[in-house]
Amino acid sequence: MNRDLTQTVARIAGVNPRACMRCGKCTGACPAYDEMEYHPHQFVSMVETGRIDELLRSKGIYTCLSCFACIERCPRQVEPARLIEAVRVLAERKQGADHLRPQDIPARLDPDMPQQAITSALRKYRR
Amino acid sequence: MQVNSEWKPTIVAFCCNWCSYAGADLSGTNRLSYPANVRIIRIPCSCRLNPMFILRAFQRGADGVILCGCHPGDCRYTTGNYYARRRMTLLFSMLDYLGIERARTRVEWVSAAEGAKFAATMNDFVQTVTALGENRRLEDLRCKA
Amino acid sequence: MQRIGVFVCWCGTNIAATVDVQAVSDALAKEPGVVLSANYQYMCSQTGQDLIETAIREHALTGVVICSCSPRMHEQTFRKTVARAGLNPYLLEIANIREQCSWIHKDRAQATEKAIILGRAAIAKVQLNTPLQAGQSPVTKRALVIGGGIAGIQTALDIAEAGFAVDIVEKQPTIGGKMTQLDKTFPTLDCAACILTPKMVDCAQNEKIRIFSYSEVEAVSGFVGSFRVTIRKKARYVREDVCTGCGLCTEKCPQKKVPNAFNLGLDTRRAIYIPFAQAVPKVAVIDADYCSMLKNGKCGVCAKVCAAGAIDYTQKDELVECEYGAIVAATGYNPIDLSGYDEFAYSRSPDVVSSLEFERLMNAAGPTGGTLLRPSDKTHPKTIVFVQCVGSRCSAEGKGKTYCSKICCMYTAKHAMLCREKYPDTDVYVFYIDVRTPGKNFDEFYRRAVEEYGVHYIKGMVGKVSPEGGKLKVQASDLLDGRQLHIDADMVVLAAAIEPDKSARPLATMLTASMDTNDFFTEAHPKLRPVESPTAGVFLSGCCQGPKDIPETVAQASAAASKVIGLLSKDSIVCNPCVAQPDELMCNGCSSCEKVCPYGAITYLDKEFRGPNRTTLLRRVAQVNPAVCQGCGACTVACPSGAMDLKGFSNRQIMAEVDAICR
Amino acid sequence: MVFSYFPGCTLKNKGARLDLCGRRAAEALGFTLEELPEWQCCGGVYPQARDEIATRLSSVRALDAARRKGQSLVTLCSACHHVIRRVNGDMQRDAQIRGAVNRYLQLDTPYEGQTQVLHYLEVLRDVIGFDELARRVTRPLTGQRIGAYYGCLLLRPSREMCFDDPENPTILEQFIRAIGAEPVYYAMRNECCGGYTVLEPGGRAQKQAGKVLANAAACGAQTLITACPLCMYNLQKSVGGELPVRYFTELLAQALGLEVES
Amino acid sequence: MQGVKEKAIELLRSKSVDRVVGWKAGEFFYDLTPAVFTSVPEVEQSFVWSVFCAANLSKYLIAESRRGGKVAAFLKPCDTYSFVQLVKEHRILRENVHVVGVQCAGMCDMETIRSHGLSAVTSVAEQDGALRVETLYGARTLDRKDALGEKCRTCKSKKLAVYDELLGEQGCDEDNGRFLEVARIEAMTPEERFAFWRGELSRCIRCNACRNVCPACSCETCVFDNPDSGLRNKAAADAFEENLFHIIRAFHVASRCTDCGECTRVCPQHIPLHLLNRKFIKDINGLYGPYQAGADFDTKPPLMDFTLHDPEPSQAAVRGGGV
CATH number at residue B54: 3.40.50
**CATH code for the part of the protein at C235-316:** 3.30.70
Calpha distance C294→C607 (Å, rounded) = 50
* Residues C429-473 pLDDT 10s: 999 999 999 999 999 999 999 999 999 999 999 999 999 889 999
Q: Quick one: pLDDT band at residue E223, thresholds 50, 70, 90?
A: confident
Classify domain C335-499 at the CATH superfamily level: FAD/NAD(P)-binding domain (3.50.50.60)
Domain boundary among D120, D151, D177: D120
Question: What value does the mean pLDDT take over residues B118-141?
Answer: 86
Regarding whether A36 and A90 lie in a shared domain, the answer is yes
The answer to whether residue D101 is domain-embedded is: yes
Shortest distance between the Cα of E13 and any Cα of chain C, in A, equals 28
The answer to whether residue B4 is domain-embedded is: no
- Give the pLDDT confidence score for residue C525 in this predicted structure: 76
Regarding whether A65 and A11 lie in a shared domain, the answer is yes
Q: Where in chain C is the domain with CATH 3.40.50?
A: 4-128
In chain C, which residue's Cα lies nearest the Cα of A35?
A: C484
* Residues E7-20 pLDDT 10s: 999 999 999 999 99
The answer to whether residue B71 is domain-embedded is: yes
Question: Cβ of B60 and C104 within 8 Å?
Answer: no
Regarding whether A109 and A90 lie in a shared domain, the answer is no
Regarding whether D45 and D19 lie in a shared domain, the answer is yes
Question: What value does the mean pLDDT take over residues D164-193?
Answer: 95
Question: Cβ of E90 and C638 within 8 Å?
Answer: no
* Residues D210-239 pLDDT 10s: 999 999 999 999 999 999 999 999 999 988
- Give the pLDDT confidence score for residue D233 in this predicted structure: 94
Domains identified in chain D, total number = 2
- Give the pLDDT confidence score for residue B5 in this predicted structure: 60
- C355 neighbors C495 (Cβ within 8 angstroms): yes
Q: What is the mean pLDDT of chain C?
A: 95
In chain E, which residue's Cα lies nearest the Cα of C622?
A: E90
| pLDDT above 50 for E321 | no
Q: What is the CATH number of the domain that holds A22?
A: 1.10.1060.10
- Give the pLDDT confidence score for residue E240 in this predicted structure: 55
**Nearest CB neighbour to C104, from listed B33, B50, B76:** B33
Question: Cβ of C477 and A28 within 8 Å?
Answer: yes
Question: Cβ of E316 and B92 within 8 Å?
Answer: yes
In chain C, which residue's Cα lies nearest the Cα of E68?
A: C617
C4-128 under CATH 3.40.50, yes or no: yes
Helix, strand, coil tally for chain A in percent (to 5):
60, 0, 40
Regarding whether A107 and A58 lie in a shared domain, the answer is no
Share of chain E above pLDDT 90, in %: 63
| pLDDT above 50 for E319 | no
- C35 neighbors C47 (Cβ within 8 angstroms): no
Regarding whether A59 and A80 lie in a shared domain, the answer is yes
* Residues C606-618 pLDDT 10s: 998 887 788 888 8
Regarding whether A111 and A89 lie in a shared domain, the answer is no
Regarding whether A105 and A85 lie in a shared domain, the answer is no
Regarding whether A71 and A124 lie in a shared domain, the answer is no
Q: Using a CB-CB distance cutoff of 8 angstroms, which residues of chain A are in contact with residue D236? A: 112
* Residues E270-312 pLDDT 10s: 999 999 999 999 999 999 999 999 999 999 999 999 998 899 9
| pLDDT above 60 for E262 | yes
Report the topology of domain C138-234+317-332+501-568: FAD/NAD(P)-binding domain (3.50.50)
**Nearest CB neighbour to B102, from listed E198, E306, E317:** E317
Question: Cβ of C662 and B60 within 8 Å?
Answer: yes
Regarding whether D109 and D7 lie in a shared domain, the answer is yes
Mutate to test the interface with C, among D152, D155, D162, D168 (most CBs of C within 10 A): D168
Chains that touch A (3 or more CB pairs under 8 A): C, D
Calpha distance C298→E222 (Å, rounded) = 71
Q: Quick one: pLDDT band at residue E179, thresholds 50, 70, 90?
A: very high
**Nearest CB neighbour to E220, from listed C586, C596, C604:** C586
Q: Using a CB-CB distance cutoff of 8 angstroms, which residues of chain C are in contact with residue B42? A: 71, 96
- C167 neighbors C213 (Cβ within 8 angstroms): no
Question: Cβ of C348 and D168 within 8 Å?
Answer: yes
* Residues B12-60 pLDDT 10s: 999 999 889 999 999 999 999 999 999 999 999 999 999 989 988 988 8
In chain E, which residue's Cα lies nearest the Cα of C659?
A: E230
Regarding whether A12 and A55 lie in a shared domain, the answer is yes
- Give the pLDDT confidence score for residue C576 in this predicted structure: 87
Regarding whether A70 and A15 lie in a shared domain, the answer is yes
Range of the domain at B28: 11-139
Q: Which of A56-65, C326-335, E152-161 has the highest mean pLDDT?
A: C326-335
Shortest distance between the Cα of E227 and any Cα of chain C, in A, equals 9
| pLDDT above 70 for E2 | no
Regarding whether A88 and A116 lie in a shared domain, the answer is no
Regarding whether A66 and A15 lie in a shared domain, the answer is yes
Q: Which CATH number is C580-647's, of 3.20.20.10, 3.30.70.3270, 3.30.428.10, 3.90.1150.10?
A: 3.30.70.3270
| pLDDT above 80 for E231 | no
| pLDDT above 70 for B140 | no
Going by beta carbons, is chain C in contact with chain D, meaning 3 or more pairs sit under 8 Å apart?
yes
**Nearest CB neighbour to C596, from listed E226, E256, E304:** E304
Question: What value does the mean pLDDT take over residues C134-163?
Answer: 96
Regarding whether D146 and D115 lie in a shared domain, the answer is no
Shortest distance between the Cα of B140 and any Cα of chain C, in A, equals 17
Would you call D162 an interface residue with chain C, using a CB distance cutoff of 8 Å? no
Does residue C285 sit in helix, strand or coil?
A: strand
**List of long-range contacts for C485-490, beta carbons under 8 Å, 24+ apart:** C485/C458, C485/C460, C487/C383, C487/C385, C487/C429, C488/C383, C489/C381, C489/C383, C489/C384, C489/C385, C489/C429, C489/C465, C490/C351, C490/C374, C490/C379, C490/C380, C490/C381, C490/C382, C490/C383, C490/C384
Question: What value does the mean pLDDT take over residues C574-592?
Answer: 91
All residues at 6 or more sequence positions from A74 whose CB lies less than 8 Å from its CB, including other chains? A25, A26, A80
The answer to whether residue D174 is domain-embedded is: yes
Size of interface B-E (CB pairs under 8 A): 137
**Nearest CB neighbour to E220, from listed C587, C595, C645:** C587
Indicate the pTM of the whole model.
0.73
Shortest distance between the Cα of B17 and any Cα of chain E, in A, equals 21
Question: Cβ of B92 and E198 within 8 Å?
Answer: no
Range of the domain at D215: 138-255
Would you call A15 an interface residue with chain C, using a CB distance cutoff of 8 Å? no
Calpha distance B41→B49 (Å, rounded) = 10
Would you call C475 an interface residue with chain A, using a CB distance cutoff of 8 Å? yes
Q: Quick one: pLDDT band at residue E233, thresholds 50, 70, 90?
A: low
Mutate to test the interface with A, among D96, D199, D236, D245 (most CBs of A within 10 A): D199
Regarding whether D110 and D9 lie in a shared domain, the answer is yes
- C270 neighbors C253 (Cβ within 8 angstroms): yes
Q: How many residues does chain B have?
A: 145
Range of the domain at A50: 3-94
| pLDDT above 70 for E323 | no
* Chain center to CA of E320: 24
- Give the pLDDT confidence score for residue E27 in this predicted structure: 84
Which 8-state DSSP code applies to residue D123?
Answer: I
Going by beta carbons, is chain C in contact with chain E, meaning 3 or more pairs sit under 8 Å apart?
yes
**Nearest CB neighbour to C534, from listed B43, B78, B87:** B78
Would you call A46 an interface residue with chain C, using a CB distance cutoff of 8 Å? no
The residue with greater pLDDT, D81 or B79, is D81
Within the 402-441 window of chain C, which residues sit less than 8 Å (CB to CB) from chain A?
A: 433
The answer to whether residue B1 is domain-embedded is: no
Mutate to test the interface with D, among A116, A122, A126 (most CBs of D within 10 A): A116
Regarding whether D159 and D114 lie in a shared domain, the answer is no
Q: Quick one: pLDDT band at residue E320, thresholds 50, 70, 90?
A: very low
Alpha helices in E143-218 (DSSP H): 150-153, 180-186, 190-201, 209-213
Domains identified in chain B, total number = 1
Mutate to test the interface with C, among D167, D186, D188, D192 (most CBs of C within 10 A): D167
Share of chain C above pLDDT 90, in %: 89
Q: Where in chain C is the domain with CATH 3.30.70.3270?
A: 580-647
Q: Quick one: pLDDT band at residue E228, thresholds 50, 70, 90?
A: low
The answer to whether residue D262 is domain-embedded is: no
The answer to whether residue D125 is domain-embedded is: no
Domains identified in chain A, total number = 2
At residue B39, φ and ψ (nearest 5 deg) are -125, 130
Parallel, antiparallel, or unpaired: how do β-strands C215-223 and C285-286 relate? unpaired
Going by beta carbons, is chain B in contact with chain D, meaning 3 or more pairs sit under 8 Å apart?
no
